[in-house]
Amino acid sequence: MKLSKEQIEQLKNLISYKGHVYIDVQYEILDHVACKVEGLMEENPNLPLDEAFRKVFASFGAKGFNELEASYQKMIEKRHRSYFWEELKCFLFSYKVLLVMGIFALFYQFRHEFESNNGWIEGLLMLFIFCAVTMAVFHWRKFKKYRKYASFNTTGNFFLIVSFVYQLCSFSYITLNSSLKDKTIWTSYGVLGVTVLLASMFACLFILPKVFQRSQADTEKLIQQYQTN
């Protein structure tokens, strides 16, 4: 038998009750569940839909649909990582590299205006956190309608990575100013290391919006697909 739209919607609600809140995850699970439910109801036409669903759910074992969701999430994360590396390659061969270099050169040129020799790094850290917070706020406001889709929400993990690198960079900068008072070759290497980390973070400010846009396009395709089903 073929399930009606009302029955499909009922199955989706039952999947949601099991804790799978993302719409695309629900449809991914539904692809695996609907055929089995149809089979059970063909064998026993008097079997209620919810009872057939419970039998199918039990057949997945103690973890239920969690493994299906985890597999789907991994697929999304893999796709987003590939987007990130592709956009990184594009960035490295674009004029935007010059913009990052220009920002660093400008701050270094005015290093004497800061309280310490490495104060220009602190200025760059402050500029970065301002830009990152602005981008995060813009990201969540602009793409609010996609929050119910795992295919887009996974992009938020990139903010965690950027946050970790920022903390690492800040800790390294504090170490430079507190532990390496005397200017030595190790101080120079430390400044170089922090500068490289900072440059990587600023590069992310150009790369992540592109990743978000591609993720948005993927989610739009899913929305169109689900609306026509």
Q: Is the dihedral of CA 26, 27, 30, 32 positive or negative?
A: negative
**Euclidean distance between CA atoms 226 and 23, whole angstroms:** 9
For residue 228, pLDDT beyond 60: no
**Euclidean distance between CA atoms 20 and 22, whole angstroms:** 6
Instruction: Return the higher-pLDDT residue of 132 and 71.
Output: 71
What mean pLDDT do residues 42-50 have?
84
What mean pLDDT do residues 64-89 have?
88
Q: Residue 29 is encoded by which pair of tokens?
A: 């699970």
Q: Residue 92 is encoded by which pair of tokens?
A: 């490295």
For residue 18, pLDDT beyond 90: no
**Euclidean distance between CA atoms 83 and 95, whole angstroms:** 19
- In the numeric block, the tokens 């399930």 are attached to 3
Q: Residue 228 is encoded by which pair of tokens?
A: 């026509």
Q: What are phi and psi of 184, to 5 degrees?
A: -130, 180
